[in-house]
Amino acid sequence: MLEHLHIRNFAIINTIELDLRPGFTTISGETGAGKSIMVDALAFLLGARAERNWVRTGSRGAEIVGDFDLTNNLPALAWLQENELEENQRCLLRRSLLAAGGSRAWINGRPVTLGQLQNLASHLISIHGQHEHQHLVEPVQQRQLLDQWGNSEAQTAVVADLHSHWKKLKTQLQKIIDTPAADPQYLQLIRYQIDELKREALSSEEYQQLSAEHERLAHADDLQQGLANTLSDLNNEERGASFRLQTALANLQPLLTLDLDLTTEIREVHAMLTEAAINIEESQAGLRNILGQCDSDPQRLQQLDQQLSQQHSLARKHQVEPDKLQQQLEVLKQRVSELSQNDQLRQQLETQLQAGLKKYRQQAAKLSAKRRKIADIISNKATELLDTLGFTGALINIEVSADTQSEPRSHGQDIIRILVRTNPGQAQGLLQKIASGGELSRISLAIQLATQQLDFKQAGIAGITQVYDEVDAGIGGDTANRVGQMLSELASNGQVLCVTHLAQVAARANTHYLVNKSSDTESTHVSVVELRQTERVEEIARMLSGKLSASSRKHAKELLAG
């Protein structure tokens, strides 16, 4: 329920503060006084597209604030909790509009997106009139409202869960179907590659051994020549290192027996040269051994060339290094295993998908039956009420048709349409195409009242503020009296705000606000005041005849007496 409304610098409004109460509140005033501007301000607060001329001339920006009591509004409380914006059982909406362009929104003091504001607003206020916040003409809103009126939230949740499960299974199945793994030719190719690798691929160790042997045989001639030259350098009788080293040792040998100060140092040098001679002898032996193993083998080298070439060819085919071919073999084996499992999984998913679809169809059919039942009841009751609103021979038909051939949807398989006939002999047509603005408001009123009379208060409608603009367009007399009575009945368990120019409607209100517009040479001002009983008599008398007289005041008192 809207408890307080603050409007600042909006259109021709300077500042307005309204404290609102439960029940039926009416807003009246002279034509052009600014009544509908207040509805525009509410629409802007709820997320309507901003208009540049909504900022009061000379102001930097406009601001609208609405304070709501959510005690009886469980859907709004649930939304706030889900979005972590709850604040006890209250909700403060605020939206600003800059003269330079751009708007901002807050919920309970925290900045939110326009989409969030609009989502929450659908649980707070329903505006019925000629503006973009009419929910009744939107197919999605028609379905949601029908489910609310029928208290079908539990059943819609079941259908939504089954749809989610079905969609998840379908996604998993499609993933398996789309992958090349499901192609028998692809599977045959992998098996061929496995057989080929089993026959021809070397292990990493084998490949390394062949590579090393190939490297040695490829350089056998160079190796033999180098080893032979090294041996010659060590063992040549005239210039070899071994011969010259032995000569040096022989030259030092006589000096070892002398008793000189340098004898100790000479012995150390002689010992090092002796050790070097021993090392050279061992080196020569090692070189001869290596040289004995370095026989060239052109035939074996050719064989190794072919083997290594084959390994490199396999490696290029599988896009791996030659020493990783055995690892690739294991990868392909694992893939074949997965392919076999995928084939089994596909069969399982296909079975589960069919079972899931069957369950979904069953529960969706139950939801359809419930929607059709409640739609028929509301249609009949709303049609009865239309007759009292000046629509003789009018008809409302909420049509629920199940599309069982289409792919499952989260909200069920139903297409919900509101068909109307506003004149006798006229064919039924879609509400949004047949009804004019004034007709739409009264049709909406009839449907809202029908749901309340049919005891659907548990759907949360009682917690939503209903705003009616131009519901009395084109009516008068007894019909106007009936509209006022219906609005009063609709507000008995909630809150209804109605902008009206009919005295018969205003007289039924629990609270009456009067909008006045005044101008001076520089600006225009709008004020809104709550009328006391004596002031209501004067205003209703003016609404009855356009001027005040004893008879109009008497008639006004009679209307207020009810």
Asked whether residue 408 is assigned to any structural domain, the reply reads no
Which domain, by its residues, includes 472? Answer: 1-124+464-530
**Do residues 205 and 117 both lie within one domain?**
no
- In angstroms, how far is the first alpha carbon of the chain from the final one? 26
CA distance 562 to 103: 45
Where residue 501 sits, what CATH number does that domain have? Answer: 3.40.50.300
Asked if 253 and 197 count as a contact pair (C-beta separation under 8 A), the reply is no
Per-residue burial over 103-117, b if 16 or more Cβ lie within 10 Å, else e, is bebbbeeeebeeebb
Give the Cα separation of 271 and 278 in Å (integer).
11
Let me know whether 117 and 246 are in one domain: no
Q: Is the Cβ–Cβ distance between 87 and 53 less than 8 Å?
A: no
Buried-state track 93-102, b at ≥16 Cβ within 10 A, e below 16: bbbbbebeee
What pLDDT is stored for residue 322 in this prediction? 87
Q: What is the pLDDT of residue 209?
A: 87
In this structure, is residue 164 part of a structural domain?
no
- What is the pLDDT, as a whole number, of residue 134? 55
This model's pTM is above 0.95: no
Q: Are residues 118 and 221 in the same domain?
A: no
DSSP 267-292: HHHHHHHHHHHHHHHHHHHHHHHHHH
Same domain, 114 and 28: yes
| pLDDT tens by residue, the chain, 562 residues | 999 999 999 988 989 999 999 999 999 988 777 888 888 899 999 998 888 789 998 889 999 999 999 988 888 898 999 899 988 889 999 999 998 888 999 999 999 999 999 999 988 998 876 543 356 777 777 787 788 777 787 899 999 999 999 999 999 888 888 776 556 777 788 888 899 899 888 888 888 888 887 777 766 666 666 666 776 777 766 667 777 777 778 878 877 777 667 777 888 888 888 888 888 888 878 777 776 666 666 777 778 778 888 888 888 888 889 888 889 889 888 878 777 777 778 888 999 999 999 999 999 999 999 999 989 988 998 898 888 777 788 899 999 998 888 899 999 999 888 888 888 878 888 887 776 666 776 787 788 777 766 654 444 456 788 888 866 666 677 778 888 888 888 888 789 999 988 899 999 999 999 999 888 777 788 889 999 999 999 999 998 888 888 888 999 999 998 7
Asked whether residue 331 falls in the same domain as residue 188, the answer is: yes
* Structural contact between residues 307 and 217, judged by C-beta atoms closer than 8 angstroms: no
For 328, other C-beta atoms within 10 Å of its C-beta total 20
The count of structural domains within the chain is 2
Cβ neighbour number for residue 17 with a 10 Å cutoff: 11
DSSP letters, 16-43, are EEEE--SEEEEEEESTTSSHHHHHHHHH
Last residue of a domain, one of 337, 361, 377: 337
Any domain includes 370: no
**Helix, strand or coil, per DSSP, at residue 51:** coil
Those residues whose C-beta lies under 8 Å from the C-beta of residue 177, and which sit 6 or more positions away, are 346
Asked if the structure places residue 541 within a domain, the reply is: no
Same domain, 98 and 203: no
Residue 190 within a domain: yes
Helix residue ranges per DSSP H, 237-262 = 241-252
Whether 390 is covered by a domain: the verdict is no
The answer to whether residues 215 and 321 belong to one domain is yes
Cα 139 to its chain centre, rounded Å, is 22
**Alpha helices (H) in 84-152, listed in sequence order:** 114-121, 139-149
Q: Are strands 465-469 and 125-128 parallel, antiparallel or unpaired?
A: parallel
214 shares its domain with 95: no
Tell me, yes or no, whether 115 and 220 share the same domain.
no
Identify any residues that bridge with 93 across adjacent strands, giving them in sequence order.
66, 107
Extract the tokens encoding 13.
């409004």
Question: What distance in Å separates the CA atoms of residue 105 and residue 103, rounded to the nearest whole number?
Answer: 7
Helix, strand or coil, per DSSP, at residue 496: strand
DSSP 549: -
Q: What angle do CA 81, 87, 90 make, to 5 degrees?
A: 105
Residues 83 and 200 in one domain: no
Question: Looking at 337, 372, 401, which one is the last position of a domain?
Answer: 337
CB-based contact 208:239 (threshold 8 Å): no
Question: And the tokens for 17?
Answer: 């503060």
Of 70, 87, 89, 67, the residue nearest 19 (C-alpha): 67
Q: Judge whether 189 lies within some domain.
A: yes
Whether residues 257 and 325 fall in one domain: yes
Domain end among 304, 337, 370: 337
Q: Give the per-residue pLDDT at 131.
A: 45
Question: Do 206 and 279 sit in the same domain of this protein?
Answer: yes
Q: Which run of H or of E encompasses 526?
A: strand 524-530
Does the residue 149 lie in any domain? no
Neighbours of 424 (CB within 10 A): 10
Output the pLDDT for position 457. Answer: 46
